[in-house]
Structure 1
């Protein structure tokens, strides 16, 4: 039977599923909107849904309106601004390499999150957890070496973009976890939803102002594609809600390591939607991911 402290496991699984769906939707919008236009989709159209989620949470929990201390805001800005950079780089990398390979580069985030979490938040990691993170990450790298993928790893530009995006996502996870645990006097659900609302508000404001100044036609194009954008925004807010719930309950490194199952979901998308076969090398990588994730949960 799941305890409250172990709810981060199903929360992370749900978030990973939602994120794969959102990434695929954003990728399809990169062509007509450009990298930053597609990036703004998840924030601009996700923000209204985050308010709805927060309202439902407040009614369900009966918590008072949170009033966080000053330390909440630097953590929030670190999370929000790092995620803007990370999302844009992710979409840029997806234009350079395949969907699955890009996802694999991004999943080096687990190791970087463990390091940043230890340095900035003092998150404790046991030896077994460190081993689990390493095994799962090695599995991700092996999975990325699909037929013809060896050439892709020799291309320096998409590799660097993917790794820097992973570092930005890692800093984002640390920033949001720092903000969530700084909210006093309410349940972890309320703290998570509250942080999500303000995080998406900052991201929407910053990126919309940037597009208004640099590419006003993109904002008009976004509004013209409101139907697919609305769905991508909902999936983005939905996935983020569950990421934040997981961050509230355990170290960010644990969440981001379990999130490596996203690579398995991406493989499923590639196999069933794009008819890309799974090679023996990819299969061996998947086995390592499963072993690493199993060790993490056991730890």
Structure 2
């Protein structure tokens, strides 16, 4: 099995653990924004230290990336922060597996955006996959199989937050790959460390400035929850490093496709950890979206 596949599976596993911890924090101690800050507050400093250590051990000097690196990194970082907040907020409306599935529409949405805005060709089978994915969103949102009008279901907070998270995660994945490829280094692990250190530092600084302005008390709450929040940071480092390295080795769409195994992890977490019930309709919706995403990667 190729390295990027193993890294993608590992990234999906660590990401599931992180979202589980963030769901706990957001439902008991912190706001969705605070739960998101926990990820960067307890990971960014450690990532910088690890990156410096890796460069030292491999006798590599730090070469400042070009200006476009910072542009792509900032874009990807901002999109990831907003996507994480949307995902954590989704957990307040629907069970854990559904929240994760909604954000997994990122591949589907990327294909649709490319078709509408840039006229990028989509094969017949790719079109079928997009229709299957749209049907999955309708089923998962409750627009099909319920008495509620479909427009009302699609505009519900859970659906809008979930779809927004998917779109934003898609933007961050493409941006991170673009940023990492601009680093002048043959070693993919080196590129991943430098990109991750730069992005998480920008995210931490940005979130601290925002919360200092809007909700300074929340920063203290995050620090006070260091036991759980610390694990959020550690799982974030592990997951992000695996994602970043995989992105440097393979196209982001293929990496995210393998990452669909996160749906299986999320279903197990929903049933075994959170003891939440997944309805037959939700299983059907999850299945449709999973097939759609895999089909898009194979056929588009």
Q: Same fold (TM over 0.5)?
A: yes
Shift of 1:144: 4.2
CA–CA separation in structure 2 for the residues paired with 1:188 and 1:178: 13
> 2:62 maps to which residue?
65
Could you tell me the TM-score, scaled by structure 2's length? 0.82
Q: How many residues get paired?
A: 292
Superposition CA RMSD, Å? 3.4
Residue deviations 1:230-257, cap 9 Å, x none? 1111111110010101111111111112
Alpha-carbon distance in 2 for matches of 1:97, 1:293: 21
Does 98-107 or 131-140 show the bigger shift?
Answer: 131-140
* TM norm structure 1: 0.82
Give the whole-Å Cα distance in 1 for the aligned partners of 2:211 and 2:176. 24
- Other-structure match for 1:259: 259
**1:10-56 C-alpha deviation (Å, 9 max, x unpaired):** 11100000000000101111132211111101111111231243234
3-state secondary structure, aligned to 1:43:
helix
Residue 48 (structure 2) pairs with residue 51 (structure 1):
yes
Out of 95, 98, 102, the residue aligned to residue 101 of structure 1 is 98
Report what 2:227 is aligned to. 227
Shift of 1:112: 2.9
Q: 1:200 to 1:296 in 2, by over 3 A?
A: same
Q: CA deviation at 1:155?
A: 5.8
What's the counterpart of residue 23 of structure 1? 19
Taking the aligned partners of 2:290 and 2:136, their CA distance within structure 1 comes to 10
CA shift, 1:8, in A, is 1.3
Do 1:63 and 1:190's aligned partners in 2 also have CA atoms closer than 8 Å? no
1:147-226 alignment runs, 5 A limit: 153=153, 156-226=156-226
Alignment of structure 1 residues 139-150 onto 2, 5 Å? 141=137, 144=140
Q: Secondary structure at the match of 1:201?
A: helix
Change (3 A) 1:54 1:246: same
Shift of 1:57: 3.0
